[in-house]
């Protein structure tokens, strides 16, 4: 059976682990100084830390939309027997709810609530 694992970018797995295990990330949005960035794509944790260390305001995040999840699920659902998406804990974000709603369109996509964030989610 050919299984694809997807997670949102809050799992904090290293590039090596992502590549070794063929895990795809769905980036959350990071809002810094009113500008929207894609976590791990157009902004890195180091840039966020440097911004805050320099006296900048704390950043906030925005959940992945149902449409964004549907697009990524569609990309992999056709080519894999199953798609498992592991989300940031539902108590921390609405990502889980959005992913569940998007997954309803696919027979072979399952969404798991990690009930964690960051390294706990990645583990």
* pLDDT tens-digit readout, 66-97: 999 999 999 999 999 999 999 998 888 899 99
Task: Look at residue 99 in the predicted model and tell me its pLDDT.
Answer: 97
Q: How many whole angstroms separate alpha carbon 70 and alpha carbon 106?
A: 9
Phi first, then psi, for residue 31 (nearest 5°) are -105, 120
pTM confidence score: 0.86
Task: Look at residue 116 in the predicted model and tell me its pLDDT.
Answer: 80
* pLDDT tens-digit readout, 13-48: 888 999 999 999 999 999 999 999 998 889 988 898
**Model confidence at 118: pLDDT above 80:** no
Cα angle 120, 1, 76; round to 5: 65
**Residue bearing the bigger pLDDT, 24 or 119:** 24
Task: Look at residue 123 in the predicted model and tell me its pLDDT.
Answer: 67
């Amino acid at each position: 059976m050919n299984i694809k694992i997807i997670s949102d970018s809050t799992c904090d797995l290293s590039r090596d682990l992502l590549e070794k295990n063929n895990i795809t990330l769905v980036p959350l949005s990071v809002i810094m100084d009113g500008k929207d960035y894609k976590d791990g794509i157009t902004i890195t944790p180091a840039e966020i830390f440097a911004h805050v260390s320099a006296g900048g305001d704390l950043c906030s995040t925005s959940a992945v939309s149902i449409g964004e999840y549907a697009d990524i699920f569609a990309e992999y659902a056709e080519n894999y027997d199953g798609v498992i998406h592991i989300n940031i804990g539902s108590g921390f974000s609405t990502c889980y709810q959005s992913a569940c709603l998007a997954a309803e369109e696919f027979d072979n996509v399952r969404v798991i609530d990690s009930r964690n964030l960051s390294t706990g989610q990645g583990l």
